[in-house]
Structures are given as C-alpha cells and as structure tokens.
C-alpha cells in the first residue's frame, strides 16, 4: 500500500518530468505557446471569428486522456493560460480529437485545432 508521502513524491516526480519535457520543447526555435482562449476561425464569408475554446477543450481532453503528464497542462488551459505543448502532447490531443466520439466542436473549429496542433 502506497503511503501519503510516497504519493506526494510520485506527484512531484511527475511534475518534474513534465517541466523537463516542456523546457526541452522551449529550446527549439519554432515552438510557440498556444492560447486556446483566442482561436481564430474563418467562416464561409472569410470573416474571422475569435473563439474561446479553453474550457470546452480542456474538459474534453481531460475526460478522455490517459496521459498523466497532460493533467497540469490541461489545468493551465482551463485557467486561460497560453501553453507550450510537446510533440507527444500534441499527438495525444490530435488522437483524441480525431478518434473519440462526441467531440464538442463543429468541423471548422476542429480543422483550426488540427492546424494549431500540427
């Protein structure tokens, strides 16, 4: 049986691993933070609509992921903070958005998310 002390140490170790992964990604020149509170989507007339997807997206991914390292990032997205996603994190987002049923976004929003997560 795992003690409370062991659980705290495990959580701390997981956060350290996530922080190292994000730091490594930041070292790459082409990495940019994504702000899910300001996602621009173009409609058929070519007009840009700015959408706040932070709460819906973070809840949907949170409820469909098995990746422990994503949990803190999803909390930051939920709070409206811009985040830097590692390639592995982006792949998990894309996998969920592409294959899970009940994705809460219309097609033009999904396409824009796919572009952001490439």
Rounded to the nearest integer, the mean pLDDT of the chain is 86
| pLDDT score recorded for residue 109 | 94
26, pLDDT greater than 60: no
Q: Between the CA of residue 85 and those of 26, 32, 90, 116, what are the distances in Å?
A: 9, 9, 6, 11
Taking residues 30-53, what's their average pLDDT?
92
Find the DSSP H helices in the chain.
4-26, 54-62, 70-78, 87-99, 107-116
pLDDT digits (tens, 9 = 90+) for 62-111: 999 999 989 999 999 999 999 999 999 999 999 999 999 889 999 999 99
């Amino acid at each position: 049986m795992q003690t409370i002390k062991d659980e705290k140490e495990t959580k701390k170790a997981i956060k350290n691993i996530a922080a190292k992964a994000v730091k490594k990604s930041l070292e790459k020149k082409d990495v940019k933070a994504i702000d899910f509170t300001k996602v621009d989507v173009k409609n058929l007339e070519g007009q840009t609509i700015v959408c706040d997807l932070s709460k819906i997206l973070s809840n949907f991914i949170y409820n469909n992921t098995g990746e422990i390292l994503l949990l803190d990032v999803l909390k930051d997205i939920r709070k409206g903070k811009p985040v830097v996603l590692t390639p592995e994190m982006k792949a998990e987002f894309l996998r969920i958005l592409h294959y899970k049923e009940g994705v809460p976004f219309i097609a033009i929003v999904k396409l824009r998310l796919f572009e952001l997560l490439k």
